[in-house]
Each structure stands twice: as structure tokens, then as C-alpha cells.
Amino acid sequence: MRIEGENEINMTEASVKEPLVLFMPSGKRGRFPVGTPVLEAARKLGVYVESVCGGRATCGRCQIEVQEGNFAKHKIVSSLDHISEKGPKEERYEKIRGLPDGRRLSCSALILGDLVVDVPQDTVINAQVVRKAATDRVIERNAAVQLCYVEVDEPDMHKPLGDLDRLKVMLEKDWGWKDLLIAPHLIPQVQSILRKGNWGVTAAIHRDMDSSRPFIVALYPGLKNE
């Protein structure tokens, strides 16, 4: 991935091979290899696209819209042909829960060419809406608490790790959380919560700006989507 400056387009061989993706309304953009999931591109650029299920196409929170046309200001020609067709997971989600016209799940949609991508604000369930008549401002959201769904390995006599340790392993593997702390009252509940959720669990993780270590503040069996 290569982040582009606002007025910087370097047409090297590498940049021709790697499509340019522009996220709106943030205006952040960068070049990514063909086949990169849109959600992954957003995360690498620091664009907030909400997701709970960890790219399993089950929560539906990571919806995006692809804009079509020639965006001369940004030197991008964006087209629906520049994004992959819906795969089995996305089709299953659409059949069961429905997707508005023009919406895609960014965890399943793959970058095939230059794109202008809108992040609809109605998909950010916990976002605060501020309305002012005189001016409009884009306020990027950086929630203190993030919901993260993982599927934890079942106990294995050949891998002597406890339930909490296996939970931490999956939170690091799927979400990148390291050195996690956990609220003391949750420790005796981990075993029962994991079994109630059939080894799937949603962890609410708090990022305290005054602490270098993130904190598990709540656990829910299965996928908690709101």
C-alpha cells in the first residue's frame, strides 16, 4: 500500500499496477494491490469503517457505496467494474438481511481498479449526529469502545492454554489487539460465556488514552451487533 498526497500522482510502473482508492468524505486515499478488500484498505488509511464480525460478512456494519464517473480533480475514473462481484458470503447476507441499492460489504468487496468509495454515515450505528445550520464539518469518529467478534478454538489437551488465553490469542490474530487486560469480574465468566456462544464471543474493548494497554470491559456470547 502507498498513501498518496493530495496533489501527488506518480505514474510509475508500480502505481499503474496498483489501483488508487479515494475514501469520502474523509478524502484519504492510497494505492493498493488488486484483490485487496476495501475494508482492509480503509483500515490501512485510517478511515473509520465500522465492523464487528471481523470480515465474516455477518454484521453488515461495513457497508460502502462505490461512486461512478470521472473525478477529474482527483484524477480518478471510478466504476462498478472496478470492484469484485458479490461472493457467497455477501449474497447470503443480502438474502437474509438485505442490502440497500448500491451498497456493498467492504469486507467482501475486492479492489480491481481505481475507486471512489463513500462511507455512509448511517452505517455507523454509534456515531453522534451534530447538526449546524451555518457550517458543515466532517468529524472523524474514533470510538473509545470497540466491539470485536471472534471464534475461539475449543480446548485441546495438546495445547495447554486456558479459555482466556485462547480468547486473547484470537483477538490478537483477528483484530491486532496485544497485551489485553480484562476486567476482574469477567475472568470467572469467560468459560461459561464461550460455551454459551458455542465458542463465538463478542468482546467490548476499551482504549484508554491514558493507558498503553487496551481493556476488555464486557463479553457477550455469539455475535453482538449493537
Angle at 31 between CA 5 and CA 139, to 5 degrees: 60
| Closest residue by Cα to residue 103 from 132, 71, 61, 145 | 61
pLDDT tens-digit map of 33-71: 999 999 999 999 999 998 898 888 999 999 999 999 999
Cβ atoms of 120 and 64 within 8 Å: the answer is: yes
Does 109 lie in the same domain as 157?
A: no
Angle at 38 between CA 108 and CA 131, to 5 degrees: 110
Structurally, how many domains does the chain consist of?
Answer: 2
Mean pLDDT, to the nearest integer, of 173-185? Answer: 90
Domain span including residue 169: 145-221
Structural domain includes residue 139? no
Does 103 lie in the same domain as 18?
A: yes
Does 62 lie in the same domain as 19?
A: yes
Does 17 lie in the same domain as 94?
A: yes
For residue 210, the model assigns a pLDDT of 58
Structural domain includes residue 118? yes
Structural domain includes residue 48? yes
* Partners of 77 in beta bridges: 70
pLDDT tens-digit map of 126-171: 444 444 444 444 444 456 888 899 999 988 888 788 999 999 999 9
Cβ atoms of 25 and 119 within 8 Å: the answer is: yes
Does 112 lie in the same domain as 32?
A: yes
Does 74 lie in the same domain as 184?
A: no
CATH number at residue 30: 3.10.20.30
Structural domain includes residue 129? no
- Which of 123, 156, 175 is where one domain is finished? 123
User: Could you tell me where the DSSP H helices lie in the chain?
Assistant: 13-17, 38-45, 88-97, 163-175, 190-196
For residue 3, the model assigns a pLDDT of 62
Structural domain includes residue 32? yes
Q: For residue 26, give the C-alpha cell.
A: 474523509
Structural domain includes residue 133? no
